[in-house]
Amino acid sequence: MTDNKQEVANRLLDGLVDYLLARLAPAQLEGLIESELDYLLEQAGRYTLTEWVSAEQIHHTARKYAVEMHISGAIPELVGDMVEKFYDQAADSERVVADVVDEDVVMALLDKVLEIPLSRQGMAWLGRNPVLLALLAGGAQMGLKTLLHQGLPAPLREQLGKRLPARWVSSVETRLQEWLLRRTEQLLSDPYLYRDENLDELRELVLVAWQEFAQRPVAEVRGLVTSEDIQELFVIGFEYWRELRHTDYFNSLLLSGVNAFFEKYGDTSLTELLEEMGVTREMMLDDARRFAPPILDKLRTEGLLEEWLRRHLKGYFEAEETLALLSEQ
């Protein structure tokens, strides 16, 4: 009797598996995807974010991937391969820089930088930096010496070199350097230099320079930086990130970010949250239609879909409770 009931249960299992396989077949999958997505979105509108997950859960998850996860060396290698591809593509590009970076973006960025108090404080700090002052003064002195050397006739330069004692020349150069250093410091520390009208002139200079640079071919820009330079810059930033993510400061920033997100969206329904993030029904439906059919078709072809269904359903149809239900019929 038990064997008979098991045979019936097996036939029921076969029928259920066939039914589910048919529902997941390409002919019916389109309608199934749309109806299931609409059902999920309808139900999602009934619940808020905090009813499903907590800020603590998200923080632990974010910490696991941002802080605790081992970052393989394959990542810099992959970035290096991608940079090579981008670099080679740039060489074949006929576009100019203006086609890639819009002028409005550049000027908006410059305006914001000049607007930030830190920028003006930074420029004032540069005016007090002794190393920068020495470099500027040294550059100005070299420029004056070059100008005099090129401007004076050769015979006069020779006569001056013969008649002027070396200690006089050395003294003049020292005094000139000291004077240029003082004048450079006074100039850079003058508040007039950082007035709005002067910054407007700086903006115009940048605009003119950008308009000239923007007409250069993208391929020509390759000459300004090599692919190795880009890769090395990435490695420097990557190594900095690897160190920063293990600090308490970064962890506190991560926690603050998660808490801020939940303070803003914790009581928001899941459908409204998706809308706030810019995820629409059409986008989800489009992605489901793009990925689900080929994946399910591959699973079906390999026999994995039927195997998965039977693995999860077989236990129920072999259970004594199920067989007992069959004996009641």
Report whether 87 contacts 275 (CB < 8 A): no
Report whether 119 contacts 113 (CB < 8 A): yes
Arithmetic mean of pLDDT over the chain: 82
Alpha-carbon separation of residue 234 from 44, 91, 221, 227, 237 (angstroms) = 41, 21, 18, 11, 5
Q: Which residue is associated with the tokens 């926690």?
A: 255
**Domain residue spans in the chain?**
1-46+280-312+319-329, 102-213
Confidence of residue 283 (pLDDT cuts 50, 70, 90): very high
pLDDT given for residue 95 in this prediction: 83
106: tokens are 């550049």
Closest among 8, 18, 102, 41 to 310, alpha carbons compared: 18
Higher pLDDT, 10 or 329: 10
Distance CA 98, CA 45 (A): 45
DSSP for 198-234 reads HHHHHHHHHHHHHHHHTTSBHHHHGGGS-HHHHHHHH
172: tokens are 């003049």
pLDDT given for residue 57 in this prediction: 96
User: Please, what is the angle between helix 74-92 and helix 227-244, to 10°?
Assistant: 150
Closest among 2, 36, 1 to 288, alpha carbons compared: 36
Distance CA 220, CA 214 (A): 11
Confidence of residue 110 (pLDDT cuts 50, 70, 90): confident
Q: Dump pLDDT digits (tens) for 114-173.
A: 777 655 566 566 566 666 666 666 666 666 666 555 555 656 555 555 555 555 555 666
**DSSP class of 18:** H
How many Cβ atoms from other residues are within 10 Å of residue 6's Cβ? 15
Higher pLDDT, 317 or 152: 317
Q: Dump pLDDT digits (tens) for 17-55.
A: 999 999 999 888 989 999 999 999 999 999 999 999 999
Longest dimension (CA), the chain: 129
pLDDT given for residue 261 in this prediction: 96
